[in-house]
Amino acid sequence: MHTQTKIANRLTTLFETKKKNLLNIYFTAGFPALEDTVTILKALEKSGVDMIEIGMPFSDPLADGPTIQQSSEVALENGMSIKKLFEQLAGIREHISVPIMLMGYLNPVMQYGVAAFCRKAAEVGVDGLILPDLPFDEFNEFYSSYFEENNLSNVFLVTPETSDKRLKQIDESASGFIYAVSTNSTTGGAKDLKQAEGYFQKLKDANLKNPLMIGFNINNKENFDFACHYASGAIIGSAFVKAIKDSNNLENDVQNFVAGLR
């Protein structure tokens, strides 16, 4: 086991200063239009979200439901790519102060090169990565040093089926926060969050060293508040993507969506 150097970035600072009701909004880069990425980022910052997760579209998003599948497909048709995203994000830190995470599937990152990807992400001001299909062992064995060198948090997912032992292991390797998937589902599901109460309580009582954020199936203020009762905050993706899908005025629609959650 390697000894982890301490990662300190906007994300870790946020969790030190604010412990409750953190709102993390996910959106797909390059959607609805290719050049909307930065517009949405600015609108989100302005509307007062606590952190932002930018989805890097992938042709075969296994863990995603129809909404994010579709936004990914459109984004790719629009010409989105990792290269393009890094171009869009260059200079972004002149405008955006909240923590930014990149979320995506491993294959495009592998093709870019994991080391180069981590360097570039840090260079444009990204604070952490969420790569759901990057195996935990492989991260520890091959990639954790790239994250550390670039001060990037690596966020792992846990689910209702994750064993207590594995939860502890994941907590040891994670930095930033633990992403608790609310129910057994792909993104954008409509399962009843209340059924997850026992699992949320277990996580809350587990005394994890990392803060906890709950995501998946969270689509309104009621769900958001419920999740926040057990965690530092919650993550909203599909509901936001749906809300801006046909937007003619991104700034307004983003503002209204976020206001509806607070």
Chain residues that interact with another protein, rule: CB under 8 A:
58-60, 62-65, 69, 73, 76, 81-83, 105-112, 132-135, 138, 156-159, 161-163, 166, 181, 184-186, 189
Catalytic residue (choose from 16, 35, 36, 53): 53
Which two structure tokens, joined as six digits, stand for 50? 């606590």
Q: List 214's β-bridge partners, or say none.
A: 180, 234
Q: Which of 27, 34, 41 is nearest to 77 (CA)?
A: 34
Amino acid at 21: N
Write down the residue that tokens 């086991």 correspond to: 1
Q: Active site includes 73?
A: no
- 147 or 156: whose CB is closer to another protein? 156
- 200 or 257: whose CB is closer to another protein? 200
Q: How far is the CB of 60 from another protein (least distance, A)?
A: 5
- 38 or 76: whose CB is closer to another protein? 76
Q: How far is the CB of 25 from another protein (least distance, A)?
A: 21
Q: Active site includes 171?
A: no
Write down the residue that tokens 């171009």 correspond to: 87
Q: How far is the CB of 116 from another protein (least distance, A)?
A: 13
> What ranges in the chain are assigned the alpha helix state H?
10-17, 36-47, 66-78, 82-89, 106-112, 114-124, 136-138, 144-149, 164-173, 197-205, 221-228, 238-244, 250-259
Q: How far is the CB of 104 from another protein (least distance, A)?
A: 9
- 19 or 191: whose CB is closer to another protein? 191
Give Cα 179 to chain centroid, integer Å.
Answer: 8
Burial class (CB in 10 A: 0-12, 13-18, 19+), 105: buried
Catalytic residue (choose from 36, 64, 127, 253): 64
Find out whether 100 and 49 touch, Cβ atoms under 8 Å.
Answer: no
Report the catalytic residues: 53, 64
